[in-house]
Amino acid sequence: MITPRSMLMTISALQNRIASEATQHSEAVQALVSERDALKQECEILQLMFEETHYELWELRQAVFERREAHAQLLRLYREREIARAWRAEREGPLQ
């Protein structure tokens, strides 16, 4: 038989359970929010690192391109020097 006292005890137990679960839920939500904020900050740091690395890669590619251009220019100069030597040797005749 259900008595008013047993009903009050059941209601009180349910209220305590609901309050306990609400506290646990609130703590879980707060933990998730904290984790989200930490991941968001880490993502921003990684984005900055990516941008910096991307720029450094661009600089490296630029340096490689410039080195190749300088090497090609050096080869052209060597060729011009050899041509000039050949013309000079042809004008001056064979060495004796």
What sections of the chain are H helices per DSSP? 4-92
What confidence tier does 5 reach under pLDDT thresholds 50, 70, 90?
Answer: confident
CA distance 28 to 8: 30
* pLDDT tens digits, one per residue of 17-64: 899 899 999 999 999 999 999 999 999 999 999 999 999 999 999 999
Residue 92: what pLDDT? 87
What confidence tier does 65 reach under pLDDT thresholds 50, 70, 90?
Answer: very high
Residue 17: what pLDDT? 87
Q: CB-side exposure of 16: number of CA atoms within 13 Å?
A: 6
Residue 96: what pLDDT? 54
Would you give the end-to-end CA distance of the chain in angstroms?
Answer: 136
Residue 2: what pLDDT? 76
Residue 26: what pLDDT? 93
Does 95 have pLDDT greater than 70? Answer: no
As a whole number, the mean pLDDT across the chain is: 92
